[in-house]
Amino acid sequence: MFLAKLPLYKKLTEQRSIKFAEYLSKLIPENSTVLDFGCGNMYTARELVKRVKGIQVTGIDVVKDQNLDDALLQNKQLEFKLLQTKEVPFADNTFDIVVALATMHHTENPEYYLSELKRIIKPTGALILIEEMYINVIDKIYISSQDWLLNKMKTGVPVPLNFRSHKHYLQEFKKQGLNIEFEDGIRAFLTGMHVYVYKLRKA
């Protein structure tokens, strides 16, 4: 959609990516192999390689974002893959770090993809989940409406609105054998929404 091509839109999304990259850089060790699950325009990945020494970031998404510039991929620390299967197309124990930044609710089955992301992190690796999680019905309606509006500005982005409650995610972590190493909350850029942050490791 043309709105996503506007300079103001790009500037705002870049500022959002800078904020998240600054935050994530404190959670990602140097020289890590990183998967950015649901990478979008890869602005966050671009900012991460500036901030964390020696990392290699692979971005994967179901569509190539209309603002993902091929020139960005000239950077040898960055790679983009199109997700064309239900399964995440990497072998078990591939990555040091997997980042899912405001992505799980765009999947058809967040619980399934949580298990897939767990599968592809190394035994010593970690999954960093940054996700909007509602705490009541009003919260869910607000989260869903703003997400639908913002993502409809872009071409081809799935918006199934599969948000889960905070309580549900905590239960799912236990069910899937994921231990919480770190937890926090940040405010999303533009919307000011509370976003939960978890760094998870295999039990």
Q: Provide the residue range defining the domain that includes 141.
A: 2-67+95-107+133-202
Say if residue 54 is exposed, middle or buried (CB neighbours under 10 Å; 0-12, 13-18, 19+): exposed
The CATH number assigned to the domain holding 162 equals 3.40.50.150
- Name the stretches of the chain with pLDDT < 50: 2
Q: What is the pLDDT of residues 99-122, one digit of tens each?
A: 999 999 999 999 999 999 999 999
Asked if the structure places residue 15 within a domain, the reply is yes
Helix (H, G, I), strand (E, B), or coil: what is residue 24?
Answer: helix
Give the torsion sign (CA, 106, 112, 117, 118). positive
- At residue 154, the pLDDT reads 61
Asked if the structure places residue 82 within a domain, the reply is no
Closest CA to 28 of 55, 50, 46, 47: 55
Asked if the structure places residue 120 within a domain, the reply is no
Asked if the structure places residue 122 within a domain, the reply is no
> How many domains is the chain partitioned into structurally?
1
